[in-house]
Amino acid sequence: MGAGALGVLLLVSAVSAQAQLRVEATFRNSTEPGWSISGTDDGASNNDSGILTGGYGAIPNNVNDANGDGWLRLTTNSNTHIGRALLTSGSFASSQGVLVEMEYVAWGGNGADGIAMFLYDAASDMAGAGNGASLGYCGGVGGYLGVGLDEYGLYSGTPTNPDCADGPGSSPDQVVVRAPQSASNVYIGGAAVAGGIDNPGATSRPAPKRVRLLLVPNGSGGYRVTVGVGAAGAVPPDLLNELNFPYSAPANLRLGLSGSTGGLNNIHEVRNLIATAPADILVQKTVDATTVLRGQPVTYTVTVTNNDINQVDPGDQSPTIDSANTPAITDTLPAELLAGATWTCTASAGSTCPAASGTGSIAVAGGYTLAPGGVLTFTVQSTVATTASCDAEIDNSASAAFDPSAGFTDLDETNNAATATFQVVCPTLIISKVTSNGVGTFSFTGDNGVAAHDITTVTAGTPVDGATQTLAAAGVATTLVEAEPQDFFQLTDASCTGLGTDGTATFDAASRSLVLDAAATTTAGPIRCTFSNIRNVTDLQISKTGPATAVTGDTATFVLTVNNAGPTAVSNAILTDTPDPGLDCTQPGTATCEASAGASCPAATVAVSDLTGAGITLPSMPVGGQVVVTMQCTVTADGVP
């Protein structure tokens, strides 16, 4: 080609005409599919603009980049050159935001003019964009938004360039935003780049710098523009922050890069470009209680929100996130929760869940959608394991993250995860023993974690607590059993305090057991269950009266009086009377029985043979009770009856 001619390298990949925005262009190789690359042909000098240096061969400025380690050279260090790269393989809807990041170097010349990153109407081709102060953007048909790295300062405004005429005037080392070509590419705003943009005079390629362009919809058809410039390998500091760009965008946009020189020059090169749509995924997580009893249910709520990416303008400017690009959602349940956990999902209007329900941990790799402002709500239900350590702090985190290959970049990764914490509480139970009429040692067993243990009373009437028992689980019916008491002790009652709401404890004297129902153990406790025993000892006093003397043939009347002096009532006491020799008590063969003060006789008359044999049973002898038995015997020999 002749000097000054514009060469074109057209590289198109097989992608749809309009798709979710994701562009990765390393520009390191001899080809870059999907891009149309063009620039000024410098003729026989082999110092062209608009080339890929990787595998190109030796070119001036001591550059001979290997394929895979090259750059997109927009301009060489020759005057009045222009180079550009247009993404022609696809377009994206202007309703979503744009995030573009790339590395660049500007070197090897005497300091002009600069590099532009721009968006243009997908129906146009940027024909007419000028070199020099225009940076390959101003004047281009269909140009919508141009961000210039203005080395020399003329992109900021100069009367000599009708395409970029307005502005504050020449100001070097500025990052500058200009309007659409349809609005005369007017100046929108600019900021100084600390340390400068370029390395003029450098004889070898310097360390690259990084530029980051963020466009978020402003709700009025335009964008808010944020631009950062800094060292490669880190997020550059913002120099322009949320600058309003009020021009309505065409329906579909494409991405372009350009560089230019005028009366002065530099080599302008870029590589490692990534363009995605910005988003902000917000994850929040709560638990229904800060303390949960071991063995009891626990419920988590996890929300995944497509958060607004524009915090300045009214409305919600979050993008529509399709199922192929949704972030992976993860909530791995801790080991302290039982297997068999379940979850459900509900979606706000316009969004969809990956599934209505599931089991176990949440591990969603996609298959759902998020409308602008959309929210997915996951409700996770499980049970605290009975093996969970008492007082343990259980942390559970949920997160959502875009795959590195997704068409979205999360602007704020600090809110992509959330943790909810609860403390495991173990229900406790204490068996207390109280005795009357004596002291002793008593043995207890139980289930639901109640260990076998003994309790020894020291003072009658004073309760003694056994060792605190940690129940295996709350909400489980629990049985306590007292072993058969010794030394005449009898279990008379058992009851509990501190039971869970609506809980009951049922005492069964026959089995010496106390059964707490499930509701009773649904509490942190301590539950206190008191077993009451009485030692069955008392003072039964018996007296017998009869005639002082008698002779053979006399009838002698004998009166047996039984009194209970306490302290314990007696049931079924046996009264016997063995006649002395010389007495015949078989006639009349019956004796009378009278009772008072609550005592009772087996009958009003009793058989003398029973009284003088195995004895008669006195059904009841309360403290203070009295039974009087009267019997007659015939004297068969002289003497004292």
pLDDT per residue as tens digits for the range 138-157: 999 999 999 999 999 999 98
d(CA 594, CA 599): 9
pLDDT of residue 165: 74
Cross-strand pairs, 563: 541, 626
Q: What is the model's pLDDT at position 9?
A: 37
Residue 368, sorted as left (phi over 0), alpha (psi -120 to 50) or beta, turns out to be beta
Predicted confidence band at 158 (pLDDT cuts at 50, 70, 90)?
confident
Q: DSSP 3-state assignment of 520?
A: helix
Could you give the percent of the chain with pLDDT greater than 90?
87
Query: What is the pTM (predicted TM-score) of this model?
Result: 0.81
The size of the chain, in residues, is 641
More confident residue, 507 or 160: 507
The one-letter amino acid code at 606 reads V
Residue with tokens 């204490």: 430
Q: Work out the average pLDDT over 387-397.
A: 96
pLDDT digits (tens, 9 = 90+) for 12-46: 332 333 457 899 999 999 999 999 999 999 887 78
Segment 305-312 mean pLDDT: 97
Largest CA distance in the chain: 169
Supply the pLDDT for residue 5. Answer: 38
CB under 8 Å to 477, separation ≥6 — which residues?
448, 515, 516, 517, 518, 520, 521
Q: Is the pLDDT of residue 269 over 90?
A: yes
For the cut 70, the answer to whether the pLDDT of residue 229 exceeds it is yes
Mean pLDDT across the stretch 494-516? Answer: 98
CA–CA separation, 162 vs 173, rounded Å? 21
How far is 533 from 440, CA to CA, in rounded Å?
10
- pLDDT at position 343 over 70: yes
Q: How many CB atoms lie within 10 A of CB 461?
A: 10
The dihedral through the CA atoms of 382, 384, 388, 389 has a sign that is: positive
Q: Are 267 and 363 in contact (CB under 8 A)?
A: no
Q: Does residue 243 register a pLDDT over 50?
A: yes
Query: Is the per-residue pLDDT at 10 higher than 50?
Result: no
Band (pLDDT 50/70/90 cuts) for residue 638 is low
* pLDDT confidence band for 112 (50 / 70 / 90): very high
> Which residue's entry shows tokens 């377009």?
91
Q: Judge whether 356 and 345 are in contact, CB under 8 Å.
A: yes
| Mean pLDDT for the chain overall | 93
Nearest Cα neighbor of 384 from 444, 346, 334, 434 is 334
In this predicted structure, what is the pLDDT of residue 270?
99
How far, CA to CA in Å, does 178 sit from each of 110, 135, 137, 252?
Answer: 25, 11, 9, 19
Q: Are 39 and 51 in contact (CB under 8 A)?
A: yes
Q: What is the mean pLDDT of residues 587-604?
A: 94
pLDDT above 70 for 2? no
CA angle 280, 282, 283 (to 5 degrees): 150
Model confidence at 3, in pLDDT bands (50, 70, 90)?
very low
Predicted confidence band of residue 401 (pLDDT cuts 50, 70, 90) = very high
Q: Write out the H or E segment, with its range, that includes residue 300.
A: strand 297-306
Q: What is the 3-state secondary structure (H, E, C) of 585-628?
A: CCCCCEEEEEEECCCECCCCEEEHHHHHCCCEEEEEECCCCEEE
**CA atoms in the 13 A half-sphere facing the CB of 316:** 14
For residues 470 and 513, give the distance between their C-alpha atoms in angstroms, rounded to a whole number.
19
Average pLDDT over residues 201-212: 96
Using alpha carbons only, give the angle 7, 12, 17 rounded to the nearest 5 degrees.
125
DSSP state of 424: E
* Residue that is written with structure tokens 């007292």 in the block: 482
pLDDT tops 80 at residue 540:
yes
Q: For position 505, what pLDDT does the model report?
A: 98
Of 240-244, 426-430, 470-474, 578-582, the range with the lowest mean pLDDT is 578-582
Please check the confidence at residue 159 and state whether its pLDDT lies above 80. no
Q: SS3 sequence, 323-347?
A: CCCCCEEEECCCCCECCCCEEEEEE
Distances (CA, A) of 420 to 228, 287, 384, 397, 413: 36, 6, 15, 6, 18
What local confidence, expressed as pLDDT, does residue 568 receive?
Answer: 85
Tell me the average pLDDT across 175-203.
Answer: 96
